[in-house]
Structure 1
Amino acid sequence: MTRGFDLRARLTDRDSRGLRRGLSSIETVGERSRVVDSYEQCSSSDEQLVFASNNYLGLADDERVRRAGARAAEAIGTGAGASRLVTGDTPAHHALERDLAATKQSERALVFSSGYAANVGTITALTPDVVFSDAFNHASIIDGCRLSDAEVVVYDHCDATSLEKAMSERARDRIDESWLVVTDSVFSMDGDVAPLTALCDTAERYGAWMMVDEAHATGVFKAGGGIVQREGLSDRVHIQLGTLSKALAAQGGYVAGHEALIEYLLNTARSFVFSTGLAPPAAGAAREALSIARDGTRREQLWNNVERLRAGLESLGFDVLGETHILPVLIGDRSDAVEFADQLREVGIIAPAIRPPTVPNGTSRIRVAPMATHTTRDIEHCIAAFETAGRECAIV
């Protein structure tokens, strides 16, 4: 008798279903890099253009951001050393939180060790009776809902009418429940945007709280904020959440909201209370990146690249989803998407295939994410690579 775990069998099963993945490292985190398939040698002597990173503003290797991280390490240390409720609270954390609160137009902010920890910690700390969750929400939101023990009602993706219907049916015989509506603002696999104004209208009609995850929007939209700021909804969204690891080029997550919310979370969110504080260099780097994002020049460069790349891909006949800086190019079949990604890599573009179960069956895609630091020549190279791969794979 064995009560252990047959992990080799599980891996074999993943292989048979085309779900097994491996690590393929890159040498640098900028807009171009060599790919390292092993730690001893590179698979190619040539640099490849990276069109798959969430480093949207190209700040992860920016010298100003590097220096800010180094200054924090020199002044404070490389790690916080303990939970922030013990001895891990530093000036770097407070300076970043002040800037985040100002950017998100909220009373206060709190940084966590990751965006995942921020989502899980916030939802579980609130202990809602019911969570109304968008069908395409991020895994960290889904896991937060599971761990909260709340009843979860999934409404149709980006559909305020579906949310209204679910709330109306629930409200007939449920009076004394706490309700939380949770949605991403920009959805990472589809590049579309939640109808936040309509969702806020619906939530307010039923007295529910609104929580918006701005992971893929923070730093990219109005004044370095997100969709909440672009739509002028800062005073209607109770909980604004996001990451520091994408456009802000560091590590960690944050929650922004009113004073009582933040004070409550720092006392009750287990992923905050029982985790070592965010590393001071990450806090210093994120603060500098936020300052650069608020300035606007990098954001303008990003959106110019997005516009050129979308127009070029669509002119070739590709179906490009979404309306944001994330450009999912629909391929359809899983194996076709994998072959397409391999063809792109052959001609110098890193843009892996996204396939089930990450996306629904029949909607496998290449998720293209330009950076602000890509040049016009880089964008043209990407378009030409898609044309070549499209011919090789008989997609266009």
Structure 2
Amino acid sequence: MEDRGFDLEDRVADLESAALKRSLAPADRVADRGYFAAPPGGGLPVLDAEEAIVFASNNYLGLTDDDRVQNAARQAAATVGTGAGASRLVTGDTIVHHDLERQLAETKRTERALAFSSGYAANVGTIAALQPDVVFSDELNHASIVDGCRLSGADVVVYDHCDVDDLRSKMETQTARDGATEESWLIVTDTVFSMDGTVAPLGSICDAAESVGAWVMADEAHATGLYTDGGGIVQAEGLEDRVHVQLGTLSKALASQGGYVAGSDALIECLVNDARSFVFSTGLAPTAAAAASEALHVARHSDARERLWENVAHLRDGLEAMGFAVLGESQILPVVIGDRQDALALAEGVRERGVVAPAIRPPTVPEGTSRIRVVPMATHDQEDVVTCLEAFRAAGEEVGLL
């Protein structure tokens, strides 16, 4: 009989031969330091004997092990339950969800907000529900945006990364097409790009959008909680009235799980009814909603953000002083190495010195731009930052990069 199955073993072998195979590396906890295990396969993990400092997490404010955030999750579990149990349109809607959404809307300075089960679900569901005729998407947008564009059925026009001139040129080309005046247009961009650390020129994008009557959707996944009043780039630049759809995650600076969309009352009502990833998913777990709500409160009313940015400045200055090329202008510090093997060797050398900062290589980033993505947390102290810098100096010299 003819085999119509899948050659999964060959796929894995191809990944290994191309040095592209990735593996899970379990940790004992999610925090600014921890004990890690080698890839366990199907067995139980065996943790290393020595603790390592983590400079690779999106837990930017270090709130995953904050007592206030953990206590909020415990209280929600005890009073509401550990899971939503159903779609929020059935019986999975709780007061905890609405408390989170109220605080998100207040922070994002919008009429309403809506929590999704993940940031991925928020992007895919929102873009598809809007049903745009044309989407203009930054070439480095997250995979969830790319997939949302595909599922929407829109014509997708990709513009050069953070290049507003190219965006305007692409829109002019679209305008010249027959029937373009009757189309709905959506410009979608991340605000902070996770692999390059770059920040979108959001004000200029809004200018370009307004010149043709397009809507703007901004994904604040890597910005939420870190800027003005715990908001993102939209709040830092005062663009709430010009960005039609604000979107983000609860799983990074807000130390939880899930995603959200913030905008007008009409937008939220549309998503509640038409976003398939919301309608047909069990609601966000009440524990996750409560943890995110408390984390957002801490982000807004403590010095966590200031401590993070102090660590960012110290790390960037130190890495650049050594001669490393560091991209971006955000809390994400990509140290560009170039060669894939050199990046892997540097990451291994840093890891041997007690610092976790894995190499990022193709296909995640373009060929020839392999890098170490260094990310501090607010909970790292000065000694931790010095340890990280010393690890990079010693490993860089060992590999021959310095």
State the TM-score, normalizing by the size of structure 2: 0.97
Deviation at 1:339, TM superposition (A): 1.0
Structure 1 CA distance for aligned equivalents of residues 28 and 355 of structure 2: 15
Match of 1:321 in 2: 327
Structure 2 CA distance for aligned equivalents of residues 161 and 16 of structure 1: 41
Change (3 A) 1:74 1:81: same
Query: Is the Cα contact below 8 Å between 2:28 and 2:47 reproduced in 1?
Result: no
* Root mean square deviation, CA, Å: 0.8
Structure 1 CA distance for aligned equivalents of residues 302 and 367 of structure 2: 38
Give CA-to-partner distance per residue, 1:34-88, whole Å, 9 cap, x none: 1112364545211000000000000001010000001111110000000000000
1:214-363 alignment, distance < 5 Å: 214-363=220-369
Question: What is the one-letter code of the residue matched to 1:216?
Answer: H
Query: Is the Cα contact below 8 Å between 1:224 and 1:296 reproduced in 2?
Result: no
Give CA-to-partner distance per residue, 1:334-370, whole Å, 9 cap, x none: 1111111111110001000000111111100000000
2:59 corresponds to 1:58? no
Give CA-to-partner distance per residue, 1:96-134, whole Å, 9 cap, x none: 000000000000000000000000000011111110000
Match of 1:77 in 2: 81
Question: What is the one-letter code of the residue matched to 2:118?
Answer: S
Give runs of ≥4 in structure 1 deviating > 2 Å: 38-44
SS in 2 for 1:158: coil
Question: What is the one-letter code of the residue matched to 2:135?
Answer: V
Match of 2:111 in 1: 107
Query: Is the Cα contact below 8 Å between 1:184 and 1:212 reproduced in 2?
Result: yes
User: Identical aligned pairs, as a percentage?
Assistant: 63
Aligned residue pairs, count: 396
Structure 2 CA distance for aligned equivalents of residues 252 and 273 of structure 1: 15
Question: What is the one-letter code of the residue matched to 1:277?
Answer: G
Deviation at 1:296, TM superposition (A): 4.0
Deviation at 1:206, TM superposition (A): 0.6
Give CA-to-partner distance per residue, 1:14-50, whole Å, 9 cap, x none: 1122111111011111101011123645452110000
Match of 1:208 in 2: 214
**Structure 2: gaps (5+ residues):** none
Question: What is the one-letter code of the residue matched to 2:136?
Answer: F
Structure 2 CA distance for aligned equivalents of residues 321 and 341 of structure 1: 17
Question: What is the one-letter code of the residue matched to 1:163?
Answer: L
Match of 1:177 in 2: 183
1:1-20 alignment, distance < 5 Å: 1-20=2-21
Structure 2 CA distance for aligned equivalents of residues 145 and 220 of structure 1: 27
Match of 1:138 in 2: 142
**Structure 1: gaps (5+ residues):** none
* Aligned match for 2:370, one of 364, 371, 376: 364
SS in 2 for 1:187: coil
Structure 2 CA distance for aligned equivalents of residues 384 and 276 of structure 1: 46
